[in-house]
Amino acid sequence: MQKNRPNLSFDFREKPRAETRACGYPGCTGHGEYRAPKGRDKLNEYWWFCLDHVREYNKSWDFYAGMTEAQIERHLRQDATWQRPTWPMGDWRTRERRVRDKVFNGGFAFGADWTGEEGAEKSQTRAQRPRTPEEEALTVLDLPFDADFATIKIRYRTLAKTHHPDANGGSKEAEEKLKTINQAYNTLKAAFGGGV
């Protein structure tokens, strides 16, 4: 019984070339083997030239011909990022604050506009709804709702030192206040993912 084996014979002879194009330069009888784009807005459409004429075409062709200096600058900047949109680095703090505001001040409302009349309606709704544990914790620490975790940590340390029973002669009232501060801090620490 003979096994099916792949055909390993190769044909190294040069294959016949397809019929070549004529050079697109007026009056040239050479072969058009080299392509050149037809224009800035037609980069996937080509003229076909012989080697001498494609060199001549390339020397005289200016991609930015007809563009203003501002258009050239904009095009170069877009090319630096492969024509994809970008945003400034460091903007993550602003986005983080906005997300935190949405979480702590009324939850997410995807696609909603948070300014103008709708924003006023949301603030009225916010006033009527019960406060979240995070909002309560920020109130205990006497911080605004947009406070970041670094600010929360600093405020917690200050309040813990102020209300520690040892600093208040073993006061039971100070001890209870410290327990409330610790609970608020732990709530916020959990909300911020352990302070990351």
Q: Could you give the CA distance from residue 72 to residue 65 in angstroms, rounded to a whole number?
A: 10
Residue type, 59: K
- Whether the CB-CB separation of 124 and 149 falls below 8 Å is answered with no
Upper half-sphere CA count for residue 80 (Cβ side, 13 Å): 7
Q: By C-alpha distance, which of 144, 154, 140, 162 is closest to 100?
A: 144
Q: Could you give the CA distance from residue 195 to residue 91 in angstroms, rounded to a whole number?
A: 20
Question: Cβ–Cβ contacts within 10 Å for residue 34, how many?
Answer: 18
Q: By C-alpha distance, which of 130, 129, 132, 128 is closest to 184?
A: 132
Helices (H), the chain: 51-60, 69-80, 92-104, 116-128, 133-140, 149-163, 172-191
Domains with residue ranges and CATH for the chain: 34-80 (no CATH), 93-129 (no CATH), 130-196 (1.10.287.110)
- Whether the CB-CB separation of 20 and 32 falls below 8 Å is answered with yes
3-state SS assignment for residue 46: strand
- The answer to pTM > 0.75 is no
Output phi, psi for 182, to 5 deg: -60, -40
pLDDT, one tens digit for every residue, the chain (196 residues) = 556 666 666 666 666 655 678 998 999 989 999 999 988 888 889 999 999 999 999 998 888 888 899 998 888 888 887 777 766 666 666 777 777 777 776 555 555 544 445 555 555 555 567 888 888 888 899 888 888 888 999 999 999 999 888 888 888 898 899 999 999 999 888 887 665 4
Q: What is the pLDDT of residue 179?
A: 92
190-196 long-range Cβ contacts below 8 angstroms, 24+ apart: 191/134, 191/137, 192/149, 192/152, 195/149, 195/153
Q: And the tokens for 38? A: 């037809």
